[in-house]
Amino acid sequence: MRLRPFAAAIALGASALALSGCATSLQTQVSRYQAMPAPQGQTFIVVPGEGKARPGGLEFERYAALVAGQLAAHGYRPAADPKGANMVVELGYNVDSGQTRISDYGPGFGAYWGPSRFYYPRFGYWGSPFSYGWNDPFWYGSGIDSYVEYHSELDLHIRAMGTNQPLFDGRAEARSTTNRLDAVLPGLVEAIFTGFPGQNGEVVRISIPARPAATRSY
């Protein structure tokens, strides 16, 4: 069913509000297991882990620098000599190939308007803390909302140099409508270090303000 011109205009305006509201944060789930020593200037090195981090290279160095900066802010120091480091920090990250999601918001918008909030199936109530991400298509004319949802994750493992004793195992996960690591990885790094090292065995949800991805030039 096609929306009437007036209803379509309302729908378009509501979708713009929903998108602007949803672009304000990245919702993450963080799990942590830790036996970290109190920071006393221990030194560390960051090495590639699983997933897209495995090849290393310039992309890995960028995200490794973010992790190193967070560890330094928590009282640990990058090792001047890798052989003399106290801790090895293994950084892995990945994003899947995505899944297409389709939702039908019905024949019109009347049933979805309440006294003070607008309901949009993918995002929940506009203004709610949960959102999927950025660059979301909105097909207001057909009654169908179609998008691709990507799952991204960051894994962080810290081991004592020499003994390989586990000190920290953490994972930050998020769903978004972009598969660009430069858009989601900084937020996942920030999430896993929010309240670091956290409580042993905790699973927490952390909202990180969204930041625009770096502009690409071709």
Beta-carbon count within 10 A of 121 CB: 12
Per residue in 1-18, pLDDT (tens digit) is 443 443 333 333 333 333
pTM: 0.70
Contact 34, 168 (CB under 8 A): yes
Confidence (pLDDT) at 112: 39
| Cα–Cα distance measured from residue 121 to residue 103, given in angstroms and rounded to the nearest whole number | 7
Q: What's the pLDDT tens digit per position in 81-113?
A: 999 999 999 999 999 988 888 766 555 443 333
Confidence of residue 132 (pLDDT cuts 50, 70, 90): very low
Contact 136, 22 (CB under 8 A): yes
Q: Residues 51-72: pLDDT tens digits?
A: 999 999 999 999 999 999 999 9
